[in-house]
Amino acid sequence: MIPGIVSAETFWVRNGWQSFRNVADAHTIALGGARVTGTAGVANVGNPALIGIKEYNRISYTHQNRFAGIINSDLLAFELPLLDRLPVGIVLLQESVNHIPNTIGLLLDWGADGLPGTGDPGEDNGILDEGERLNEDQLSFFNQRQLGFQLSTAWRWKRNTFGLALKGLHHRLGDYQGNGFGIEAGIIRALWPGAQVGMVIHDILSSWMIWDSGTVERTAPSLQVGLSQGRDWAARSLSIRLYGDARLSADQSVDKQFKLGTSAITLSYGMELIFKDKFQLKFGRDDIGLSSAGIGLVWEKFGFDYAYRMEPRSSQLGSSHYLTFTVDPAWLMQIGRTF
């Protein structure tokens, strides 16, 4: 197995593990994806240190309907009390895109006159020019599905909380499939009252995706830092939380917000208003400039979050909706025993 991997053709890719950034709970999405010091608990797959911040013995389920239903995702997250001081978080996720048209080899590249072999301008140039078309009679479709998991743990030392996560991904694309693995590490540190700073190293030593065709895709490490600040007005039963993240990577594609030498920096940020510790109103902007908003309702044993992300009109892909439910498993067992 190892000699085969070493001798395989290897490519460095940007979005090999994009599903782990796309699939998030609605609370995180509504805050613009600012997740380094965001939602405490195992449902936030952005920073493994967050599961050690506070007691969060809940089951969380998130469903995503993105781009008007083109992409559907699900996330199930929970903790196992294996060790009192070393929580173990488990995240299961899936992302699927169905009925994708396969247009390879369908271009009737005959030029403007629509006749093969005439040598007119545009013939055999590999571009869909005016007057040309695809051979729709030969059109076929395929599906894409990604199944992933993340095992994480966290521990405290003085004012710091450290987290470590192992992630795996199975990717099926049409008739091809691949399996991958990677490691994440994070830290949260309390500053002054209401403030936290955090850092995450994504894809430590690079994450791998090994395809059955023999191709190996590698994702380079990236660094993400975050800061959050909260303030409470007890007399008004009102709280406010501000979140901000900056991600540093070697990706210098044109959509990146800032460039620093050979690296690029993207920013995401959000704001949360909390009334009587139960009603939450959230706004945010993610690292590709998309705005989001959401609401949350939190009770002692149950919680609900909804997020809406506004896609640009020029994309014509529609809007994205996110729903997250959290529940205390002990409360569920109590209800079950009453029936």
DSSP sequence for 166-204? EEEEEEEETTEEEEEEEEEEEEEEE-STTEEEEEEEEST
Average pLDDT, the chain: 81
| pLDDT value at residue 272 | 95
| pLDDT value at residue 1 | 42
User: Which pLDDT band holds residue 246 (cuts at 50, 70, 90)?
Assistant: very high
pLDDT average, residue stretch 95-112: 71
pLDDT average, residue stretch 225-232: 94
Residue with tokens 């939450």: 280
pLDDT higher for 264 or 152? Answer: 152
Residue with tokens 């640009």: 312
- What gap in Å lies between CA 306 and CA 281, rounded to an integer? 10
| pLDDT value at residue 265 | 86
Q: How far is CA 297 from CA 209, 233, 294, in A?
A: 38, 19, 11
pLDDT average, residue stretch 176-196: 92
- What gap in Å lies between CA 70 and CA 258, rounded to an integer? 30
CB 269 within 8 A of CB 293: no
Say which CATH superfamily domain 2-103+139-338 falls into. Outer membrane protein transport protein (OMPP1/FadL/TodX) (2.40.160.60)
Does the pLDDT at position 164 exceed 90?
yes
SS3 of residue 41 by DSSP: coil
Percent of the chain scoring above 70 in pLDDT: 76
pLDDT average, residue stretch 49-70: 75
User: Which pLDDT band holds residue 196 (cuts at 50, 70, 90)?
Assistant: very high
pLDDT higher for 202 or 128? Answer: 202
Boundaries of CATH 2.40.160.60 in the chain? Answer: 2-103+139-338
pLDDT higher for 168 or 59? Answer: 168
pLDDT average, residue stretch 150-157: 90
Please name the residues in contact with 98: beta carbons below 8 A apart, sequence gap of 6 or more.
143, 144
| pLDDT value at residue 334 | 73
User: Which pLDDT band holds residue 21 (cuts at 50, 70, 90)?
Assistant: confident
- What gap in Å lies between CA 325 and CA 162, rounded to an integer? 26
